[in-house]
């Protein structure tokens, strides 16, 4: 006796009209196959791009004489109507649609609007080059939005930097206090990585902006469509050179995922700094109520959840990148259905960054520095390099100066006092050059900051140059 199924069988909804590929099959797919194969819940967000690509293809078919100009005009008018209809669709409408994918849906709606001429739209075109075109068009729009959001975070960092050129704080190496810098300099240390992210994004867009349409399923289009005209009408920068490569190429997806992952890493590092600096142990910054949360149990808590979520999302972004690389590594040439998974990865990464970037920008824009707390964290031991530099300016070799000041640091630790509180006699013991030195001036943190005047340093002049250069890119 046959055992009942562990999970009740689900009946797949009937797809209105014929499938694009149904002619050689005697029956439709099994419900299990339909659930696995159906991509409309994911690729529905490509509907605008699918309509735009179809409109351009109809025009190209008409211009090539494959269909007459009246038919081309009817197709374009029908696609305009489909676009208007889909603009009004709700989530309920999308849930009710039983089509296999967005391409099937648009073609079905076109048939309902334009009639039998809709069957001519797919002439010379495959879903392989169609989806590759739609996806690239979507990515070009997404890249513009991401660039704007990265730019806004840069702008927030620049705004804060303009306010805090005179705020002195510790800089850290190995999570140990190292040397004093201005808060503006620290802020700019997070703005420059974002500039690189934007540069990488712009560079990647060059490779995204390549038109696959006209490549057919794998061998190219048998009709004399003008692919250069298609490129111009859809806003691409170049035409794909090889039809086999064009339908399979997802290098650009991996490249965008790398750019997004790298941006996520930069956001995570900024978030980590702010999580530490906002803690009571540091107290350098106070995050606004708008970008903090509380505890369900402890009334006193102020949690930097926006920053913790930014830090956490970076792991998700890296996961999307590694997943895409793993997906691509074993594929044979040409289109393979594995590539249906590319969209969910890029969509998820885009959504994650689109959520995180505005929240991080808002956190930065509304946070407040505690200048006194920052300055209070700068102890005289952090100026040990300045003491060594004093000796260097007196002609002492740096290695000798480094050793001499190291002895002073050890003495201060032994006496349990700040480096600046050691008696002059101890300074003179390690080097006679200290005999006439102005020790008080040597332990001035603001003077130390201004001394780092080389390009890229923390002095006011250097930071202003950084601000001017970065502002120009905004």
pLDDT band for position 34 (50/70/90)? confident
Q: What is the pLDDT of residues 296-337, one digit of tens each?
A: 888 888 899 999 999 999 999 999 999 999 999 999 999 999
Query: Structure tokens of 462?
Result: 């250097």
Q: How far apart are CA 396 and CA 413, in angstroms?
A: 24
What does the pLDDT read at residue 2? Answer: 55
pLDDT band for position 200 (50/70/90)? very high
Nearest to 237 by CA among 211, 198, 199: 211
What does the pLDDT read at residue 271? Answer: 98
Q: What is the pLDDT of residues 279-292, one digit of tens each?
A: 999 999 999 999 98
Residue that the structure tokens 């005209």 belong to: 229
Catalytic pick among 39, 162, 164, 174: 174
Please report, for residues 92, 237, 345, the alpha-carbon distance to residue 208 in angstroms, rounded to integers and kept in the order given: 33, 9, 16
Catalytic pick among 288, 295, 333, 354: 295
Q: What is the pLDDT of residues 357-397, one digit of tens each?
A: 999 999 999 999 999 999 999 999 999 999 999 999 999 99
295 catalytic residue (yes or no): yes
Q: What is the pLDDT of residues 47-69, one digit of tens each?
A: 999 999 999 999 999 999 999 99
Q: How far apart are CA 261 and CA 345, in angstroms?
A: 12
Q: What is the mean pLDDT of residues 235-243?
A: 98
- The count of C-alpha atoms lying within 13 angstroms of the C-alpha of 398, restricted to the half-sphere facing its C-beta, is 3
Nearest to 270 by CA among 189, 181, 155: 189
Between 3 and 271, the more confident residue is: 271
Between 381 and 32, the more confident residue is: 381
In this prediction the pTM is 0.91
What does the pLDDT read at residue 17? Answer: 42
268 catalytic residue (yes or no): no
Burial of residue 320, with CB atoms counted within 10 A of its CB: 0-12 exposed, 13-18 middle, 19 or more buried: buried
Q: Do the bridges between strand 176-182 and strand 368-369 make them parallel or antiparallel, or are there none, so unpaired?
A: unpaired
Least confident of 8-22, 27-41, 316-330: 8-22
- Alpha carbon 389 to its chain centroid, in Å, reads 41
Residue that the structure tokens 């970037």 belong to: 357
Number of alpha helices (DSSP H) and beta strands (DSSP E) in the chain: 20, 6
- Domains delineated in the chain: 35-120 (1.10.275.10), 127-174+181-376 (1.20.200.10), 380-443 (1.10.40.30)
Q: Which residues contact 167 (CB under 8 A, 6 or more apart)?
A: 182, 183, 184, 369, 371, 374, 375
Q: Given a cut of 90, is residue 16 above it in pLDDT?
A: no
Q: Given a cut of 90, is residue 438 above it in pLDDT?
A: yes
């Amino acid at each position: 006796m046959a055992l009942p199924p562990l999970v009740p069988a689900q009946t797949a909804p009937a797809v209105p009209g014929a499938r694009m590929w149904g002619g050689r099959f005697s029956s439709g797919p099994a419900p299990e196959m339909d659930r696995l194969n159906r991509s409309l819940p994911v690729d529905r967000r490509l509907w605008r791009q699918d309509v735009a690509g179809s409109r351009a293809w109809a025009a190209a078919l008409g211009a090539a004489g494959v269909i007459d100009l009246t038919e081309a005009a009817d197709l374009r008018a029908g696609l305009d109507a489909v676009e208007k209809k889909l603009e009004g669709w709700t989530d309920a409408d999308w849930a009710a649609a039983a089509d296999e994918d967005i391409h099937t849906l648009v073609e079905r709606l076109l048939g309902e609007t334009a009639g039998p001429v809709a069957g001519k739209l797919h002439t010379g075109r495959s879903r392989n080059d169609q989806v590759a075109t739609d996806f690239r068009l979507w990515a070009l729009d997404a890249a513009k939005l991401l660039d704007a959001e990265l730019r806004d975070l840069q702008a927030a960092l620049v705004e804060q930097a303009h306010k805090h050129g005179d705020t002195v704080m510790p800089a850290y190496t190995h999570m140990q206090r190292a040397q004093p810098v201005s808060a503006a300099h620290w802020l700019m240390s997070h703005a420059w990585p974002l500039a690189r992210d934007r540069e990488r994004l712009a560079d990647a867009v060059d490779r995204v902006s390549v038109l696959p349409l006209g490549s057919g399923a794998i061998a190219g289009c048998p009709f004399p469509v003008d692919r250069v005209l298609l490129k111009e009408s859809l806003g691409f920068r170049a035409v794909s050179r090889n039809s086999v490569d064009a339908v399979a190429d997802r290098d650009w997806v991996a490249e965008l995922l790398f750019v997004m992952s790298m941006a996520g890493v930069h956001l995570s590092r900024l978030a980590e700094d702010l999580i530490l600096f906002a803690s009571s142990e540091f107290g350098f910054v106070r995050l606004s109520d708008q970008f903090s949360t509380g505890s369900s149990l402890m009334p006193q808590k102020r949690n930097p959840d926006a920053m913790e979520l930014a830090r956490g999302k970076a792991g998700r972004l890296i996961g999307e990148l590694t997943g895409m690389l793993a997906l691509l590594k074993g594929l044979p040439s040409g289109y393979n259905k594995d590539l249906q998974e590319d969209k969910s990865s890029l969509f998820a990464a885009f959504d994650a960054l689109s959520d995180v970037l505005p929240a991080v920008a808002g956190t930065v824009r509304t946070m407040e520095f505690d200048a006194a707390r920052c300055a209070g964290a700068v102890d005289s031991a952090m100026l040990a390099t300045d003491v060594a530099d004093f000796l260097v300016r007196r002609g002492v070799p740096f290695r000798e100066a480094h050793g001499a000041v190291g002895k002073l640091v050890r003495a201060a630790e032994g006496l349990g006092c700040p480096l600046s509180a050691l008696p002059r006699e101890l300074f003179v013991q390690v080097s006679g050059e200290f005999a006439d030195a102005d020790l008080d001036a040597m332990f001035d943190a603001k003077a130390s900051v201004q001394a780092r005047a080389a390009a890229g340093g923390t002095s006011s002049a250097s930071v202003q140059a950084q601000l001017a250069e970065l502002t120009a890119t905004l």
